[in-house]
Structure 1
Amino acid sequence: MALTRSFDTVLSAVGATICISILAWAVSNSETAMLDSTGIVLYYLIPGGLAVGFCASLALSQTIRILYILLVSAVAGGLYMTELYLVQYKPIENSVTIAAKLAGRPVDPRSRLEVVEQMRQLEPQTFPLMTQLGFMWSARKAEISGGNWPLTIKGRQVGAIGTVALANIVQCNESGSYVMYKSDRFGFNNPDYVWDMKQIDSIMVGDSFGLGNCVPLQQQIANQLRGKGVGTINLSGAPAGPLSYLAALQEYAVMMQPETVIWLYYENDLVDLAEEKKFNAYMERTITNQPVGLIQHQTAIDKSIRELVEKEILEFRMTETTEKPRKKNKSSIMDFLLLRTIRNELQLYFRKPGHDFQLFKRTLSQANMLIKSWGGRLLFVSLPNSARYLQAPFWFRNDTWVRNRVLNIVKSLGVDSLDIDPVFARHPNPHELMYFPGSHYSGKGYEIVAESILKAVSPNSTNLKSNRERKHDQ
């Protein structure tokens, strides 16, 4: 009996020590400083409560102490057994495959690299998508590994906004089939003739949603607008954020001076803005309106992207032969202890990023002033997270506060805005608008966005043209 009493006392003391250690780590770790309410519960309240329970059990009867230990051990054991199963035995089938099978769509099992390599046998000028932030990340990695920054113009390190010109670009696969497009003369997702049009009604900037991920060309927003008679040039890229949108306007839109600039905002744009901030020279040059004339250096841009892409492909081949989902996930011990696989399965992300709303406001204000300088109009289009409509866990939809604050900033700047959230919310079957929680929109979703933009743009085209003509007459 004495041995039993000693053993359960030791277990309670060890449990209290572990919980207190976790709590101390959370308090001292800067990464937990921006947790939302869910993160606070998981990192602070649960270990703190368990520590209090273990300490209190030391002063209670042996029966209560043993019951408490058994309860905590059963819950913890269940979680770690589930983690072990997910890591070692569960076939990893991604959301694309699951959604496609449920909808009865065929699934292309190839990786993007395999698609690129097979396409190159027929079309040598085929590349995986690399624009804007993707270029910056790859360029930084090349620089860190001992190389030079791949694109320098007028003595400045610059980033590419478009991709390789007049090439076949392998985009993405979320429906079960890969999407590809032929880039225009400046590396954007447009038919090349748009740059020769006499009248440009609109220019669109945005991230992957503006680029058209991951639907066929005819279903993408810019192509739908062109199909309705709105002459549109698409300067979107992926991944990209607000600074990239502003840079695209400074480098390319100024030359065309469209009547309307369509700024597509998605709910992760401020996360991308935080990434863009890491490239200090790029940020400073963009925010102070110092374009470098990218439009005149497409040959250098093409060369730099080709070099980066080939390096990325070579590195990928050296580390693994395929991107296909593997049956076993080689998680580290720390990943296992932190239950990373369970958290990924549940989309349990609860860290609240340190959004720079002031920089966002300054960026949007700069864009608005630039567009007004040629008599144009800025239309800010807020695109909602697809998870909001597909009964995703609440922690995957807890960014409403960010969206609301962004829309308040837009309003304070006097910028016209279009919120797609209530439009989607009225749809009787949200599952038709996207493939799965966190995916891009389906063709139907993009169609609704395009129709909403068309209604917002068309009534103003004549007025804007008249304003510009009156300004010219004066």
Structure 2
Amino acid sequence: MKKMSRNKHYPILHKASKGATWFFLLASIILLGYTFYRSEIVGGGWYGDRYFKYYLISVFGILFWGVVLRLKDEVRLNLVVMISSGVMGLYVAEVFLFVTAKDPRMVSAAQASFHFDSRTKYEVYLDLIRKKVDAVPAVHPMQFVPTNGIPVGGVAPLFPFGGVSNKTTIMCNESGEYAIFPSDRYGFNNPDSVWDNKKVKWMLTGDSMTQGSCVKPGDEIAGQIRKLTQQSVINLGSGGNGPLAELAALEEYAKAREPEVVLWVYFEGNDLVGDLQFEMKSKFLVKYLREELSQDLINRQKEIDSNLIEYINEEALAQEQVEKKSYRVIHDLLGILRLLNLRVKIRFDNSFVDMDADMKPIFGDILRKARDRVGQWGGKLYFVYLPANIRYAGGHQDLGSLYSRDDILSLVKGLDIPVIDIHEKVLLNHPDPNALFVFKDAHYNKKGYSLLANAIVDEVEKRPLTD
């Protein structure tokens, strides 16, 4: 009787397994289409290495489930049960990670006995406006890559590399407290008075590590160099910058002050595989490399301010929708569907070992142009190599292939640009290099920036500018 009862359910189970097979086949087709959309349309074809594994998974899934459809009912049922159990296990792990996830910023603040400011940047902005503070959220050049700059009057685009001038600028929060700085006359993180000098000693170009994320004004690399040397230092860094934006910032702002020492601050974590790939999507940015381009931004700050404020107001309206609870719920559910927490946990999307071959010659051309431009007024370009926290948190201190470190240093030395290697000078022999970052995968902290600045000043003072 039991055997007859079990056999009676087989047709239902076989039908269910066939339906599940069609579901998995359809999911594989959707994944293939979504991968193509993210890689080729959104990414412009520059992120093929990152999405290659998803192409493999989706194509394999289509072929596999196509074959499963043709198998005998019994075999198909067993395969579907086994694979469905595995998929369910993945989603159980994903939900567990989502529920138990702790914001590393809150952990960092608790360890330092700081109160953690849990407000979003948008909420901080609104609170400051209510208090009649003339505040703006930080705006970064990379926000304008998809649109090739800001269209101005339907004519040539305006591509800013600074922010809104003379404003209380809200940057970021990693340690529990928001980093907020008064922007200078061109929207950068400097005391405005540094621009009163007709010539300056130091100038830095770089990304968020250079701008000063996420420390108080004066604790960033430029501020620390200013304290150490009592000399004029201008910081052109901005979050998200890649090599093209860093070159463009020099083209627009350096010549007017002819700095003696120019620091090209390179962060191994994303400057090439990520930032430069993204920048290459902008035909306008590429002109800074291929042509002799200047937008004369140093004389157009009023125009920059008005356009950026208009942009910020539009973004504020969009952010108002994002802040709604319903949006957050949908966002969280989509993250779970995409196994976001699990992928982050196992670093599934990281592709930091090999540098994209297409980026190496482009990066070399960018550095060559920067070196020659700085040399025109008798200045000296230094290449500052900043290592990422994963090099130490993951135990990869001596791995030369990590982020193509050996290739990058060889390229720079081949261009006869002096290298200040922060990995060797500071972190390699430090008793606890992880203590120089706010937390894993975060920016350097105040102590880290201080040690970086000391190493940079020591190295520059050792080498005459005529070398």
Report the residue type matching 2:226 in the other structure.
R
Q: Please state if 1:34 is matched with 2:45.
A: no
Q: Which of the numbers 405, 409, 414 marks the counterpart of 1:412? A: 414
Deviations 1:256-291 (A, max 9, x none): 111111001112112222222222123214541221
- 1:369-388, aligned counterparts within 5 Å? 369-388=372-391
Report the residue type matching 1:235 in the other structure.
L
**2:113 alignment partner in structure 1:** 104
Q: Structure 1's 17 and 122: CA in aligned 2 closer, same or farther, altered over 3 A?
A: closer
**1:168 alignment partner in structure 2:** 168
Distance 2:113 2:71 in 1: 55
Is the 2:242–2:279 contact (alpha carbons within 8 Å) kept by the matching residues of 1?
Answer: yes
Deviations 1:208-262 (A, max 9, x none): 0100000122321001101111431111112211111111111111111111110
Is the 1:19–1:51 contact (alpha carbons within 8 Å) kept by the matching residues of 2?
Answer: yes
Q: Which of the numbers 119, 125, 135 marks the counterpart of 1:126? A: 135
Q: Structure 1's 151 and 127: CA in aligned 2 closer, same or farther, altered over 3 A?
A: farther
Q: Please state if 1:240 is matched with 2:249.
A: no
Distance 2:158 2:214 in 1: 28
**1:256 alignment partner in structure 2:** 257
**1:231 alignment partner in structure 2:** 232
**2:44 alignment partner in structure 1:** none
Q: Which of the numbers 288, 293, 300 marks the counterpart of 2:291? A: 288
**1:75 alignment partner in structure 2:** 86
Q: Which moved more, 1:78-87 or 1:308-317?
A: 78-87
Q: Which moved more, 1:70-79 or 1:348-357?
A: 348-357
Is the 1:207–1:239 contact (alpha carbons within 8 Å) kept by the matching residues of 2?
Answer: yes
TM-score, normalising length from structure 1? 0.80
**2:43 alignment partner in structure 1:** none
Distance 1:405 1:26 in 2: 34
**2:439 alignment partner in structure 1:** 436
Is the 1:39–1:351 contact (alpha carbons within 8 Å) kept by the matching residues of 2?
Answer: no
Distance 1:253 1:9 in 2: 71
- Tell me by how many angstroms 1:339 deviates: 2.2
**1:220 alignment partner in structure 2:** 220
Is the 1:170–1:181 contact (alpha carbons within 8 Å) kept by the matching residues of 2?
Answer: yes
- 1:153-192, aligned counterparts within 5 Å? 156-192=156-192
Structure 2 unmatched ranges of 5 or more: 41-46
Is the 2:400–2:406 contact (alpha carbons within 8 Å) kept by the matching residues of 1?
Answer: no
Q: Structure 1's 275 and 150: CA in aligned 2 closer, same or farther, altered over 3 A?
A: farther
Is the 1:257–1:376 contact (alpha carbons within 8 Å) kept by the matching residues of 2?
Answer: yes
Distance 1:414 1:299 in 2: 39
Is the 1:39–1:350 contact (alpha carbons within 8 Å) kept by the matching residues of 2?
Answer: no
Distance 2:351 2:297 in 1: 37
Is the 2:225–2:457 contact (alpha carbons within 8 Å) kept by the matching residues of 1?
Answer: yes
- Partner SS state of residue 139, structure 2: coil
Is the 2:427–2:433 contact (alpha carbons within 8 Å) kept by the matching residues of 1?
Answer: yes
- Partner SS state of residue 228, structure 1: helix
Distance 2:19 2:318 in 1: 45
**2:196 alignment partner in structure 1:** 196
Q: Which moved more, 1:295-304 or 1:128-137?
A: 128-137
Report the residue type matching 2:303 in the other structure.
A
Distance 1:44 1:439 in 2: 32
Distance 1:327 1:91 in 2: 17
Report the residue type matching 1:307 in the other structure.
E
Distance 2:400 2:67 in 1: 30
- Tell me by how many angstroms 1:74 deviates: 3.1
Q: Structure 1's 405 and 40: CA in aligned 2 closer, same or farther, altered over 3 A?
A: farther
Distance 1:49 1:318 in 2: 41
Structure 1 unmatched ranges of 5 or more: 144-148, 468-474
Q: Structure 1's 198 and 284: CA in aligned 2 closer, same or farther, altered over 3 A?
A: closer
Q: Which of the numbers 57, 65, 76 marks the counterpart of 1:43? A: 57
Q: Structure 1's 14 and 218: CA in aligned 2 closer, same or farther, altered over 3 A?
A: same
Q: Which moved more, 1:423-432 or 1:26-35?
A: 26-35
Is the 1:11–1:69 contact (alpha carbons within 8 Å) kept by the matching residues of 2?
Answer: no
**1:472 alignment partner in structure 2:** none
- Partner SS state of residue 299, structure 1: helix
Is the 2:228–2:454 contact (alpha carbons within 8 Å) kept by the matching residues of 1?
Answer: no
Cα RMSD (Å): 3.9
Is the 2:289–2:365 contact (alpha carbons within 8 Å) kept by the matching residues of 1?
Answer: no
Q: Structure 1's 58 and 274: CA in aligned 2 closer, same or farther, altered over 3 A?
A: same
**1:368 alignment partner in structure 2:** 371
Distance 1:341 1:191 in 2: 40
Q: Which of the numbers 292, 317, 328 marks the counterpart of 2:320? A: 317
- Partner SS state of residue 74, structure 1: helix
Q: Structure 1's 134 and 25: CA in aligned 2 closer, same or farther, altered over 3 A?
A: closer
Aligned residues: 444
- Tell me by how many angstroms 1:137 deviates: 5.2
Deviations 1:29-81 (A, max 9, x none): 5549834699379827985998799799969xx7x988766543432222123
Distance 1:411 1:91 in 2: 46
- Tell me by how many angstroms 1:389 deviates: 1.8
**1:343 alignment partner in structure 2:** 343
Report the residue type matching 1:358 in the other structure.
P
Report the residue type matching 1:158 in the other structure.
L
Is the 1:92–1:327 contact (alpha carbons within 8 Å) kept by the matching residues of 2?
Answer: no
